[in-house]
């Protein structure tokens, strides 16, 4: 934008300078030409007065003196055909002036000035002076150079002023862009300076600050609502724990208490995550996936499922919070147990590729419904939020979730 403003101003100034300087340059050239012609005409007219009053000897001396002192050669054509001064053949202009009067004629190499002196006893005498082209253009080149320097100076000055004005406009816009980028990255404390730039930019900055404050309030309310909802689940979970402890079979009681403990940890993680300010999360995908696969492997063994895993050795850093990645893995593996019959095996693959980390969960079942993956849509009677949790986790890194039959691929970009 800064460059475009500079180009716009330079184009406008160039047009103004051309419209002003070109006529001025032509006027200076015409003035130089008129000045030279006027000087030659005055000299010729002075000699014309001598032709009418002086004798032949005085006229000859005056003409010779004029040719010595002046820059333009002068010739006097007397009525009897005698030429005094520069011996130049009579031109058509001289012959025309002898019959019709004084005139000035332009030639390719200069301008010819002829003055008719009428009323002489023998007829009409003609005084001729020739102004070369160099005299007609004398001083014009220097004047044009001065104009060019002045025009270039004005253009540079205009560009400097335009650049300063552009900076005054672009800097607050860049500040707004930086604040917007910070807000999109989760830094809800970022605010745009409200006193920089033109009124329109200040209005946008104020609106952006109000929007950031509103987003912060909404997120705080959402976190509090999630924390309150999770806390309300403590009471039924406590009752479930008491029921598990009352089971007659110690092994069954221990197994149920293990599940209750896992649920308790999940609720605690939800509350802590809801109350935590969002920053720049990161975790080791290898460690998180290995821990969740080990957890689900116990249930798989109870149901007679063959669980295979190919997990690349860590660390595999990904820009996702450990709790969020664990929730995504649980959602994918939970779908396997919820959507397939007991005894159906599954495989978990984790591998790193340039710029991304791929988590693939595949089972030996019939595959997902084509509509699966949309929020609230399920083909097995569930809430349909499992794949959506995994999808949002992938999209938070710039990646995506892909469902192909019974194979689900979670792509986490590590270098978006």
Question: Which of the 8 DSSP states describes residue 3?
Answer: H
307 and 368 fall within a common domain: yes
Count of structural domains within the chain: 3
133 and 149 fall within a common domain: no
Q: What is the pLDDT of residue 408?
A: 92
Look at residue 257 and tell me if it is in a domain: no
Q: How far apart are CA 179 and CA 173, in angstroms?
A: 10
Question: Tokens in use for 105?
Answer: 């004629």
Domain boundary pick from 85, 108, 138? 138
Ranges of the chain with pLDDT below 50: 370-383
56 and 28 fall within a common domain: yes
Tell me the residue length of the chain: 416
8 and 134 fall within a common domain: yes
327 and 390 fall within a common domain: yes
The percentage of residues in the chain with a pLDDT greater than 70, rounded to a whole number, is 88
Using alpha carbons, select from 66, 40, 47 the residue that is nearest to residue 138: 40
Look at residue 235 and tell me if it is in a domain: no
Phi and psi angles of residue 13, each rounded to the nearest 5 degrees, phi first: -65, -40
Q: What is the pLDDT of residue 349?
A: 93
Look at residue 234 and tell me if it is in a domain: no
Task: Check which CATH number belongs to the domain holding 330 and give it.
Answer: 3.30.565.10
Q: Which residues of 273-306 are buried (b: 16+ CB within 10 A; e: fewer)?
A: bbeeeeeebebebbebbbebbeebeeebeeeebe
108 and 185 fall within a common domain: no
Residue with tokens 């609720």: 267
Q: What is the pLDDT of residue 290?
A: 92
Q: What is the pLDDT of residue 381?
A: 45
Domain boundary pick from 164, 198, 229? 229
Q: What is the pLDDT of residue 70?
A: 66
132 and 15 fall within a common domain: yes
Q: What is the pLDDT of residue 230?
A: 64
77 and 33 fall within a common domain: yes
Orientation of helix 199-232 relative to helix 250-275, angle to 10°:
160
Look at residue 185 and tell me if it is in a domain: yes
100 and 147 fall within a common domain: no
* pTM value > 0.85: no
pLDDT digits (tens, 9 = 90+) for 32-89: 888 888 888 888 888 878 877 777 788 788 888 877 776 678 888 888 788 888 888 8
CB within 8 Å of 91: residues ≥ 6 apart: 105, 112, 128
Task: Check which CATH number belongs to the domain holding 14 and give it.
Answer: 3.30.450
Q: How far apart are CA 68 and CA 244, in angstroms?
A: 133
CA distances from 273 to 160, 182, 188, 226, 269 (A): 53, 20, 16, 9, 6
Q: What is the pLDDT of residue 109?
A: 84
Q: How far is CA 232 from the centre of its chain?
A: 51
User: Quick count: other Cβ atoms within 10 Å of Cβ 197?
Assistant: 21
Cβ-in-10-Å burial (0-12, 13-18, 19+) of 312 comes to: middle
Domain boundary pick from 109, 138, 167? 138
Domain residue limits at 362: 281-413
Q: What is the pLDDT of residue 370?
A: 46
Q: What is the pLDDT of residue 401?
A: 92
193 and 113 fall within a common domain: no
Q: What is the pLDDT of residue 348?
A: 92
Look at residue 274 and tell me if it is in a domain: no
337 and 223 fall within a common domain: no
Look at residue 205 and tell me if it is in a domain: yes
Angle, alpha carbons 80-51-42 (nearest 5°): 125
359 and 286 fall within a common domain: yes
Q: How far apart are CA 308 and CA 306, in angstroms?
A: 6
Look at residue 52 and tell me if it is in a domain: yes
Look at residue 253 and tell me if it is in a domain: no
CA distances from 289 to 237, 345, 404 (A): 26, 18, 21
């Amino acid at each position: 934008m800064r460059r475009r403003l500079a180009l716009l101003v330079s184009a406008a100034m160039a047009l103004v300078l051309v419209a002003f300087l070109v006529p001025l340059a032509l006027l200076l050239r015409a003035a130089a030409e008129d000045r030279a012609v006027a000087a030659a005409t005055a000299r010729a007219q002075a000699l014309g007065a001598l032709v009418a009053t002086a004798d032949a000897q005085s006229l000859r001396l005056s003409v010779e003196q004029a040719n010595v002192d002046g820059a333009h050669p002068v010739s006097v054509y007397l009525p009897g055909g005698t030429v005094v001064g520069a011996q130049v053949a009579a031109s058509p202009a001289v012959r025309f002036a002898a019959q019709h009067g004084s005139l000035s004629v332009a030639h390719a190499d200069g301008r010819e000035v002829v003055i008719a002196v009428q009323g002489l006893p023998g007829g009409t005498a003609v005084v001729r002076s020739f102004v070369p082209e160099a005299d007609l253009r004398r001083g014009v080149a220097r004047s044009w150079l001065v104009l060019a320097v002045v025009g270039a100076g004005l253009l540079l000055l205009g560009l400097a002023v335009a650049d300063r004005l552009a900076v005054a406009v672009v800097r607050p816009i860049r500040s707004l862009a930086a604040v917007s980028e910070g807000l999109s990255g989760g830094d809800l404390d970022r605010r745009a300076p409200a006193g920089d730039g033109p009124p329109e930019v200040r209005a946008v900055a104020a609106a952006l600050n109000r929007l950031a404050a509103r987003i912060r309030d909404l997120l705080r309310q959402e976190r509090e609502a999630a924390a309150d909802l999770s806390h309300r689940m403590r009471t039924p979970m406590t009752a479930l724990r008491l029921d598990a402890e009352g089971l007659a079979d110690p092994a069954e009681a221990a197994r149920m208490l293990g599940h209750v403990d896992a649920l308790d940890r999940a609720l605690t993680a939800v509350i802590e995550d809801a109350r935590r300010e969002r920053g720049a999360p990161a975790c080791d995908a290898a460690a998180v996936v290995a821990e969740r696969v080990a957890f689900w492997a116990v249930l798989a063994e109870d149901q007679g499922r063959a669980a295979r895993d190919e997990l690349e050795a860590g660390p595999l850093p990904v820009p996702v919070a450990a709790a969020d990645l664990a929730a995504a893995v649980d959602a994918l593996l939970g779908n396997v147990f919820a959507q397939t019959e007991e005894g159906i095996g599954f495989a978990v693959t984790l591998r790193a590729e340039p710029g991304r980390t791929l988590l693939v969960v595949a089972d030996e079942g019939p595959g997902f419904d084509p509509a699966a993956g949309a929020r609230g849509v399920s083909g097995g009677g569930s809430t349909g939020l499992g794949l959506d949790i995994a999808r949002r986790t992938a999209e938070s890194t710039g990646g995506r979730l892909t469902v192909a039959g019974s194979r689900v691929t979670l792509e986490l970009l590590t270098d978006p």
